[in-house]
Chain A
Amino acid sequence: MSTIPRHSPLHHDLDLAELRDLVSAIAADPQQWRPLARSDTAERHFEQLWRDDHVDVWVISWASGNDTGFHDHDVSRGAVAVVEGEVVEERLVVGGAPRLVRHRAGETFDFDASHVHRMHQDAATPAVSMHAYSPPLWRMGSYEVEPDGTLRRRSISYAEELRPLESAA
């Protein structure tokens, strides 16, 4: 935890390159994230590694079948580094099939605040990923596609996504 400020500028919101650098630096330092990763959970497991005025950093452990559903990050941009296993990022395409990108251990990707995506884990082995958001997550949008194809957005607190009820048990 103590090495995060070294990676984080602290005095301004991070741009996409800085966010990618941050998650890459943390990914390369397993001492930081390994104690927070979980391989024994059926649900996604979230641990906050850091939060300050400009960035929050999470270690997320994924079990097979875990699925975020489509969501946005309101005003936050983000970057992800996969450190174990693999995750699938899906983007909604109006009138077409979703666009899928598979991200494997060692890969990073980023997204701006206008990005809408869904992440899921479909491999047999668990995955672990580092996520950084700037400015820190606050509100998020949660999307549902109705049976008739119409899209609905629900405004939720970031706690709904990253402090779900299972982790309070």
Chain B
Amino acid sequence: MPAVDIHQHLWPESLLSALSLRREPPMLVRRGSDWSVRLRGEPEAPVDLADHDPDRRAALVHADGLDRALVAPSVPLGIEALAAGEAEPLLEAYHEGVAALPGEFGAWAAVALAEPDPAALAHRLDAGFVGACVSAGALGGPAGFDRLGPVLETLERRGAPLFVHPGPASSADGEGMPSWWAALTGYVASMQTAWHAFAVWGRPAHPGLRVCFAMLAGLAPLQRERLIARGGPAVSDPDVLLDVSSYGARTVDAVLREVGVDRLVEGSDRPVIGVTELPLGDAVRTALRERNPARLLSTTTTEVPA
């Protein structure tokens, strides 16, 4: 089985170009030879264009011991949440650019939130996108699942997975806050919210949908005793997986204790965070990089451990 990192980001030339043409966030700003990204709700952050060089990144895939990396839309940019007319050229630039990346890469399709378009998604899946990536904030309650229902239904019908990604940050997380603030507060809360919301509203509506939550779903699985103590559902969902982005051996092992090894997948968040080796043994490594991604990305329904 190929070794896969299901969570990387790469801004192709087409997207960099489209972002640099904008005059309001999200936008790329150039000062001399230095570039930075300006977003709503987050401090301006420097961008190293070498991080988005396809050939360099393809070499890193191999250096990381992987065969394939899946590029996800950078949800914290907030592109999907823009008005349709503004979002469309940026999303087109993303899809067009990542579809042309070297063979080491696959990609998640983005979904415009102003007008979620299941037909556009079906077209992307036809073109080889592995599934769809949606922000946790868009799936935080029943209205989100109503609104994105046709998109999720398309994924379910096609046997393609949903990837739930944190961001964008709230406007309260902007100037004056440390660079890590949103990643440790708003992102964690929104991933936990989406995790519980999926169990309550997503799963009943989409019984066959495979889902992967980034960043261990903000550690929502570790809230399980509290969930049950408060009368929440005690059901384990084998088709909901978690990527381990930004976490290390201690936390990954804690979540593994809750959900078992079969529900964890490698997701590095490169270039935000590099791929790290977890000292949890070869069997865990193989499960996270090979066996479990194969199940997540499989287009056929397979018998899985409950």
Closest to B257 in A: A138
Please tell me if the beta carbons of A164 and B283 are within 8 angstroms of each other in the complex: yes
Q: Report, as a range, how many residues of chain A touch the other chain.
A: 20 to 34
How far apart sit A103 and B291, CA to CA, in the bound complex (Å)? 33
Is B256 part of the binding interface, using a Cβ–Cβ cutoff of 8 Å? yes
Q: On chain B, which size bracket covers the interface?
A: 20 to 34
Question: Does B260 lie at the interface of the complex (its beta carbon under 8 Å from any beta carbon of A)?
Answer: yes
- Contact pick for A1, options B1, B280, B306, CB 8 Å: B306
- Give the residue name and chain of the B residue nearest to A161 (CB): B283
Q: How far is A160 from B306 in the complex, measured between Cα atoms in Å?
A: 20
> Which A residues lie within 8 Å of B256 (CB)?
138, 157, 159
B258 nearest in chain A by CB position = A53
Q: A116 to chain B: which residues have CB within 8 Å? A: none
Listed stretches A14-22, A44-52, A88-96, A124-132; interface member: A44-52
What's the least CB distance linking A46 to chain B, in Å? 10
B287 touches A163 (CB 8 A): yes
A10 interfacial by beta-carbon distance below 8 Å: yes
B123 interface residue, CB < 8 Å from A? Answer: no
Please state if A156 and B281 are interface contacts (CB–CB under 8 Å): yes
A139 to B262, CA, bound (A): 15
Assess whether B284 is interfacial by the CB under 8 Å rule: yes
Q: Flag if A157 contacts B236 (CB, 8 Å).
A: no
Which one, B228, B234, B287, contacts A159 given CB within 8 A?
B287
The digit string for A1-34, where 1 denotes a CB below 8 A from any CB of B, is: 1001000001100000000000000000000000
User: Is A56 in the interface zone, CB < 8 Å from B?
Assistant: yes
* Also in contact, A165 and B282, with CB within 8 A (given A50-B306, A53-B224): yes
| Whole-angstrom CA separation of A165 from B291 in the bound complex | 10
Check: B32 CB closer than 8 A to any chain A CB. Answer: no
Known: A49-B305, A51-B236, A157-B281. A168 touches B287 (CB 8 A): yes
Known: A4-B306, A48-B305, A51-B236. A56 touches B260 (CB 8 A): yes
Residues of chain A contacted by B287 (CB below 8 angstroms):
159, 163, 168
A160 touches B234 (CB 8 A): no
A159 contacts B261, CB within 8 Å? yes
* A158 within 8 A of partner (CB): yes
Q: In the complex, which residues of chain B have a beta carbon less than 8 angstroms from the beta carbon of A157? A: 253, 256, 261, 280-281, 283-284
Question: Does A136 belong to the interface (CB within 8 Å)?
Answer: yes
Residues 145-169 of A, flagged 1 when their CB comes within 8 A of B and 0 if not, give 0000000000011111101110011
Cβ of A95 to closest chain B Cβ, rounded Å: 31
Contact in complex: B224, A160 (CB < 8 Å): no
B residues at A contact (CB < 8 Å): 1, 224, 228, 234, 236, 253, 256-257, 260-262, 280-284, 286-287, 290-291, 305-306
Write 7 A-B pairs (CB below 8 A) sorted by A numbering. A1-B306, A11-B234, A47-B305, A157-B284, A159-B280, A160-B283, A168-B286
Closest 7 CB pairs of A and B: A48-B305, A159-B283, A159-B261, A138-B257, A160-B283, A168-B291, A168-B286
Known: A51-B236, A56-B260, A163-B286. 8 other contacts (CB 8 A): A47-B305, A50-B306, A53-B228, A156-B281, A163-B284, A168-B286, A168-B287, A169-B1
